[in-house]
Structure 1
Amino acid sequence: MATDYDAPRKGEEDNDSIEALKERVPQSSSPNVDIDQGDGVHGFDLSDADLSDVELETVVIPPQVDEFTCMECFLIKHRSQLSAQSTEGNPICNDCAF
């Protein structure tokens, strides 16, 4: 059976007044929004931290034979992600081609 979603709907619920609808809604005790504390950097306080003597070591691996650097996003990608729209001197990954 086809339903006309544009037709006005009339039912027993439509006969209620605004005051009756307001009585059904539970009163909120606090207007504050519940904020998830795990979303941000709320737990880190680095204002007094002296990081001048900390050494960071990073191993940099050059691009491998089966990898290329996308000329749009400048990320190193595997050859399987090379777009058909890329040219020889301008390789573009599938993500940037669309």
Structure 2
Amino acid sequence: MATDYDAPRRSETDDLAEDSLDELKARRSEAQSAVVDVDEAETAESFELPGADLSGEELTVKVLPKQDDEFTCSSCFLVHHRSRLAETNGDRYICRDCAA
């Protein structure tokens, strides 16, 4: 098919201006769909239910004991480096996050 490059081009706004109101309403109703395409089996596999049997799972993270330069915050119970120590009350250590 030959194309006449000298002919004026029509844009989408020109097409919309010439369309009748009934045609526009019909297009809008055709474009919108209330049906959602969801694969229920795939969605169900991504959820982990409470009480699921995890006896076959292996721990893949290497856990290290608390080091000499670390402390356990008595408020949030997280292990922090000594540089994060905010205050000490006897045997109670508080990190900077909990002290703020």
- Asked if TM exceeds 0.5, the reply is no
Between Structure 1 and Structure 2, which shows a larger proportion of strand residues? 2
In the superposition, the TM-score normalised over structure 2's length comes to 0.43
Structure with the higher fraction of residues in helix conformation: 2
Whichever of the two has the greater Rg, that structure is 2
TM-score normalised by the chain length of structure 1: 0.44
